[in-house]
Amino acid sequence: MYSTINSNKNLLGSFHMASVAMRYNEFIGRAYNLTMSLGFTPEKIMPSRAFCSDESQGYPVILIAKHFGAFPFDHGRVGAFISTDRHGPHAHHGKDLVIIHASHVGYDPKSGVFGVYRRLQTDNKEETTSCGKICGVLDWYLKEYEFAKHNILLSKENGKYLVAIDNWLLHGERSEGLLLKLDQLIERSTLGEIHALKSLSTSKVFLASKALIESVGSDAWGNSEMIGEALKAEMFSFKRESSDHMDLNLIAAMPYIVTDKWPALKAAQVNTQVEFDHAFRSVVQEPEYQGKHLLFISGLNVDISPKEGQIFPLTKFIPWAAYYQTADGKQETWEQAELYERLKAQPIENPDQVDLEEAIKVMGLEQEIKLPF
């Protein structure tokens, strides 16, 4: 059910960030104009958003309503999971259909840290984790990685490069935890076997593999130096007994996530990629979407913490991929570069956008309608 494509390092690296990011007001204006260029009908479009439940996602929702002239249908759950069982109801709400999906990550411009967001409604306008769902899941994996970094020790004795590994990490049959790829760390004998040179109270000492020596570099081999950041993603995997949707989405790519400079950002990226890959097939196969104009855009929301005097975050959108189908059955998938170019080709200004304040004012002046009870 869930994609394992993100175990592929090349795919992770193909997700460009800075070069394609755009302010949200610009993105939504361009997205609306893109639908116009595709032949969608003004005032007949039902947008839908598949976002996390966090209040930081409110600003994008307001902009969607402003530009498309309708409050968006809700396709999302906590963590920005796409509720594929809502495709049918969404299809009934409009002639032409748009889905905008985005995982999200907070960003503090002062500290330059991803994964936190300033909550203005807290007592002291505190910074807390964002996305809380992603960061909550990450916590267990990061602790496992920290333990391994501190309990794999490198040393050099009599010209030999040695690696001491905690006994817990050597138990490959564990039901869950960080599992080392021992061939990346330990040199096998001429018979292809792994033998410990020493058995200590809590660890065993082995000859280091040529791959590890080359990866770490000869200068790092002192007197029981922790492997630290030299424990690369290629040297381990994770196992966890969990049915949690986020665990299932991220676990294949988790070695690359925990070793990244910004784990929360990388996790949000991976979640976007997996959810699009998963939901794309359900959209294509949904009977209720047949015969409809549909544009499904997936990307990443970066919530820049608001400063004093700001109500909303300065959200940026990083497009990832899109699926487009016509009412007569034509189907196209746009990869990141094509989606970005299509959006950039559109003007930011939207002559059809709604003046929300005026619309609310008009509603307030309307004669009250009494309900019959």
Does residue 116 carry a pLDDT above 80?
Answer: yes
Strand 81-82 and strand 236-239: pairing?
Answer: unpaired
Say whether the peptide bond before residue 131 is cis (omega within 30 degrees of 0): yes
Q: Report the chain's mean pLDDT, rounded to a whole number.
A: 92
Residues 6 or more apart whose Cβ sits within 8 Å of residue 78:
52, 53, 133
Burial per residue of 16-49, b for 16 or more beta-carbon CB atoms within 10 angstroms, e otherwise = eeeebbbebbbbbbbbbbbbeeeebeeeebbbbb
Burial per residue of 164-187, b for 16 or more beta-carbon CB atoms within 10 angstroms, e otherwise = bbbeebbeeeeeebbbbebeebbb
pLDDT value, residue 3: 43
Does residue 9 carry a pLDDT above 70?
Answer: no
Cβ of 117: how many Cβ atoms within 10 Å?
Answer: 26
Alpha carbons 57 and 59: distance in angstroms, whole number: 6
CA 47: distance to chain centroid? Answer: 22
Long-range contacts of 124-131 (CB under 8 A, 24+ apart): 127/305, 129/264, 130/54, 130/56, 130/104, 130/105, 130/106, 130/264, 130/303, 131/52, 131/54, 131/79, 131/80, 131/103, 131/104, 131/105, 131/106, 131/264, 131/268
Helix residue ranges per DSSP H, the chain: 9-13, 24-37, 58-68, 87-91, 132-150, 167-170, 210-216, 245-250, 254-258, 263-285, 336-344, 356-365
Alpha carbons 42 and 126: distance in angstroms, whole number: 42
Percent of the chain with pLDDT over 90: 77
What is the arithmetic mean of pLDDT over 65-81? 94
Tell me the sheet residues that pair with 154: 163, 225
Q: Express each pLDDT in 235-244 by its tens digit.
A: 999 999 999 9
Cβ of 258: how many Cβ atoms within 10 Å?
Answer: 24
Residues 6 or more apart whose Cβ sits within 8 Å of residue 279:
50, 82, 84, 101, 296, 298
Residues 6 or more apart whose Cβ sits within 8 Å of residue 222:
154, 155, 156
pLDDT value, residue 1: 39
pLDDT value, residue 340: 97
Q: What is the pTM of this model?
A: 0.91
Domain-by-domain residue ranges, the chain? 5-87+98-137+273-361, 140-241
Q: If phi over 0 gives left and psi between -120 and 50 gives alpha, with beta otherwise, what is residue 357?
A: alpha
More confident residue, 202 or 125: 202
pLDDT band at 179 (very low <50, low <70, confident <90, very high): very high
Cβ of 195: how many Cβ atoms within 10 Å?
Answer: 12
